[in-house]
DNA sequence: TTCGTAGTTCGCCGAGCGTCGTACTTCGAT
DNA sequence: ATCGAAGTACGACGCTCGGCGAACTACGAA
């Protein structure tokens, strides 16, 4: 094997193939948004296990796959771990400014509502 | 009835109750994104029937409801029609810059891909 | 080599979404 | 009062999604 086993990028869309609706859908899930927020918070590349997510391993794999197939993150292997990186530059080119605004809004909302209620809209219905 | 029948706003979340994930989810659907784009394209208030959407009346009602309950649009009656308006200012306060970036990205993508394939990722799988 | 850790894959389940058709309501016009 | 046009409400359908557990793979360490 002439390939280096420590850098095997998993299949992902090219920058030009990143679709707006796919990105929006990927970011619309609370768990995935939490992953993206943690990735953006300085830790540029983290193993999946490092994220303290309220779901099981297989569900975690699922969410990372959705993010990767939407073009939001890049994944490659490092030893027995899977390292994830935000595709900041690619996203900036495909959907300029979107990631920053989403992250800023998520931060603001997190400060207002420390715990995220499932889906209650108190002032409506 | 002392209420004026020509301005009956339908139930909608207050500005502070607009949730990021709800907005992202509302904008993640191609039909709803098309509605928002048409609303942003100058026609500030349009009747539902004025949108040439590839779905039936009842589905149209459903999509307008999702957009309204997410806080993206406001709806009120005018005669036998339903007039919809983008809540631009409220969105700017709740999720600053998000709407503009989504609209810009949608415009760019529409120029690249005139017709939107269902969900094919040609360079992947 | 054996073992443990980290992820993946698969099938399954329940819930929700998008879609439709069919009533039903509401309003303006006749 | 009657009719038609614009929307809404409701139920049904198929599909997707998010969640899980169990079995499997891949890699490092002992």
| pLDDT tens digit sequence for A67-116 | 999 999 999 988 888 899 999 999 999 999 999 999 999 999 999 876 54
CA angle B12, B110, B103 (to 5 degrees): 35
* Angle of helix B57-70 versus helix B20-27 axis, rounded to 10: 150
Residues A26-54 have a mean pLDDT of 85
Which residues 49-78 of chain B have a CB within 8 Å of chain A? 69
Mean pLDDT of chain B: 84
In order of start, what are the domains of chain A with their CATH numbers? Answer: 16-109 (1.10.10.10)
Residue B119 has pLDDT above 70, yes or no: no
The verdict on a CB contact (< 8 Å) between B124 and A17 is yes
Using the Cβ of B35 and the Cβ atoms of chain A, whether some distance falls under 8 Å is answered with no
d(CA A119, C1' C15) / Å: 14
> A49 pairs with which residues across the strands?
none
The pair phi, psi for residue B122, each rounded to 5°, is: -55, -35
Of the candidates A12, A98, A125, which has its C-beta nearest B105's C-beta? A98
Q: What is the rounded end-to-end Cα distance, in angstroms, of chain B?
A: 61
Whether the Cβ atoms of residue B22 and residue B87 lie closer than 8 Å to each other = no
> Which bases of chain D come closer than 7 Å to a protein CB?
4-11, 17-23, 26-28
CA pair distance B25, B67, nearest whole angstrom: 9
**Residue with more model confidence, B125 or A84:** A84
* CA gap A113, B17 in Å, rounded: 10
* Cβ atoms of A72 and B64 closer than 8 Å: no
Tell me if chain B has a CB within 8 Å of the CB of A92. no
Decide if A24 touches B, using CB distance below 8 A.
Answer: yes
Return the percentage of chain B with pLDDT > 90, whole number.
Answer: 63
Give φ, ψ of B110 to 5 degrees: -65, -35
**Cβ A28 to strand C below 7 Å:** no
Q: Sorting pLDDT into bands at 50, 70 and 90, what band is B6?
A: very low
C1’ D2 / CA B55, Å: 31
Query: Using the CB atom, is residue A49 less than 7 Å from strand C?
Result: yes
Quote the CA–CA distance of B110 and B108 in Å, as a whole number: 5
Kindly state the tokens that stand for A103: 């992250």
Confidence of residue A41 (pLDDT cuts 50, 70, 90): confident
Ramachandran angles phi, psi of A83, nearest 5°:
-100, 130
Closest CB to B17: pick one of A100, A102, A123: A123
Pair A40, A107: CB distance under 8 Å? no
Question: Which ipTM was obtained for this model?
Answer: 0.88
Cβ–Cβ under 8 Å, residues B12 and B85: no
Q: How many angstroms is C1' of C11 away from CA of B16?
A: 42
Tens digit of each residue's pLDDT (9 = 90 or more) over B66-99: 999 999 999 998 888 889 999 999 999 999 999 9
Tell me the CA–C1' distance in angstroms for B49 and C4: 63
């Amino acid at each position: 094997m002439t390939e280096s086993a420590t850098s095997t990028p998993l299949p992902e869309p090219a920058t030009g193939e990143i679709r707006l609706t796919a990105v929006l859908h990927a970011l619309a899930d609370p768990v995935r948004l939490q992953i993206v927020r943690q990735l953006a918070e300085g830790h540029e590349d983290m193993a999946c296990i490092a994220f303290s997510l309220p779901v099981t391993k297989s569900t975690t794999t699922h969410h990372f796959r959705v993010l990767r197939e939407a073009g939001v993150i890049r994944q490659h292997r490092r030893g027995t771990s899977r390292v994830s990186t935000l595709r900041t530059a690619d996203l900036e080119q495909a959907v300029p400014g979107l990631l920053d605004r989403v992250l800023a809004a998520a931060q603001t909302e997190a400060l207002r509502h420390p715990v995220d209620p499932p889906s209650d809209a108190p002032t409506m219905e």
